[in-house]
Amino acid sequence: MVNPVGSYENKYWQKKWAHTKNLPINDLQYSFIIGSLLGDGTMRVGKGAVNANFKVEQGLQQKEYTFWKYEILKTLVLTEPKISKRYDINKIQYDKSWWFRTVRHPFLTEIYNRFYVKEGYCTGRKIVPLDIQKDLNDFALAVWIMDDGSYSKGKIDISTYSFTFEEILLLQKVIKKNFKCNVNYYKDRDKGYRMYWNKTESKKIIKAIYPYIIPSMMYKIGIHNLVTTGSEARMRQGEDD
């Protein structure tokens, strides 16, 4: 069980955040943040700030996924997800992505200090903590794969470009211990490393994470044109294999 954050008190709390001081971070939220930090999630301690916040940003086609994330973290979020706007070279505004961020919180700062190498006062490089084994469970892995995974020809592939070779080896070791399966890796030109499971090992991973994959992200585990029942969905996935 994740420790509650109600004991945190400091002078930096703004009044509009007061309702979050005594809210516990539950196990689901904690595992979600861990999985997302391995994937698309980002944290930041801005200039002059004391605590970190957590940001979610997804493509326009991933609205359902964004709101699913919001429902998990909504006790730490002040506003619903909204569309980020940008301007093209002709100064015409266009919709870029869906996003939201949490409030800044001391508990999030603890996670930030594990996952980031600080560079000045802004966000530094995201890393894989040496103690990641205790946190990487089925749900966290499902979030990670929904964020950065892909599926092709019966195999799950996951983007790990931002991690060092040593961190890839650590993840490989942890996945073998926690999920009793082997994951491989390869160097993708000058981009960095990608990790992947072969067909046999991918089936093991899919069995572990299937209960947590939301309908719009089922394609990440090879299920397309999702049907209504779980058994039919499994049959569809078997056909794809």
Superfamily of domain 17-126: Homing endonucleases (3.10.28.10)
As a whole-number percent, the residues of the chain with pLDDT over 90 amount to 66
Q: Does 238 or 135 have the greater pLDDT score?
A: 135
The helix (H) or strand (E) run that includes residue 111 is helix 106-115
Provide the CATH number for the domain formed by 132-240 in this structure: 3.10.28.10
CA-closest candidate to residue 222, choices 35, 213, 66, 172: 213
The pLDDT of residue 96 is 77
Amino acid (1-letter code) at residue 227:
V
Q: Where does the chain hold its CATH 3.10.28.10 domain(s)?
A: 17-126, 132-240
For helices 27-38 and 63-73, the axis angle rounded to 10 degrees is 140
pLDDT tens for residues 111-159? 999 999 876 555 578 999 999 999 999 999 999 999 999 999 999 999 9
Place 226 in a pLDDT band, splitting at 50, 70 and 90.
low
The pLDDT of residue 60 is 87
The pLDDT of residue 82 is 93
